[in-house]
Amino acid sequence: MPEIPHDLSQLSLAQIAELAAARRLPPVDQWTPTRLGDSEMRIARDGTWYHQGGPIKRENMVRLFASILRRDPDGRHFLVTPVEKLEIEVEDTPFIAVEVKSTGIGEDRNLAFRLNTGDLIIAGPANPLRFEEANGEPHPLLGVRGGMDALVSRAAYYALADWAIDEHHDPLGLWSGGTFFPMAAA
Where residue 81 sits, what CATH number does that domain have? 3.10.540.10
Percent of residues, the chain, with pLDDT higher than 70: 86
Same domain, 76 and 128: no
- Tens of pLDDT, residue by residue over 105-134, are 999 999 999 999 988 999 999 999 999 998
pLDDT value of position 25: 75
In sequence order, what are the beta bridge partners of 114?
99, 120
Q: What mean pLDDT do residues 27-42 have?
A: 92
Domain of residue 117 covers: 95-176
Split at pLDDT 50, 70, 90, the class of 20 is: low
**CATH number of the domain bearing residue 152:** 2.30.270.10
Among candidates 168, 169, 137, 172, which has minimal Cα distance to 154? 137
Among candidates 60, 66, 74, which has minimal Cα distance to 39? 66
pLDDT value of position 1: 44
Please enumerate in sequence order all residues whose Cβ is within 8 A of that of 46, keeping only pairs 6 or more positions apart, or say none: 96
Same domain, 103 and 85: no
Pairing mode of beta strands 84-90, 35-43: parallel
Decide which of 37, 69, 90 is a domain's last residue. Answer: 90
Q: Is 104 left (phi over 0), alpha (psi -120 to 50) or beta?
A: left
> Which secondary-structure segment (H or E) carries 114?
strand 110-115
Decide which of 36, 58, 90 is a domain's last residue. Answer: 90
| 46 domain residue, yes or no | yes
Same domain, 59 and 121: no
pLDDT value of position 176: 97
Query: Rounded to whole angstroms, how far apart are CA atoms 24 and 26?
Result: 7
Half-sphere exposure (CA, 13 Å, Cβ side) for 138?
17
pLDDT value of position 184: 82
Q: pTM for the complete prediction?
A: 0.86
CA angle 47, 73, 99 (to 5 degrees): 30
Among candidates 181, 2, 1, which has minimal Cα distance to 100? 181
The single-letter DSSP state of residue 107 is G
Count of domains observed in the chain? 2
Same domain, 31 and 73: yes
Decide which of 90, 123, 146 is a domain's last residue. Answer: 90
Split at pLDDT 50, 70, 90, the class of 77 is: very high
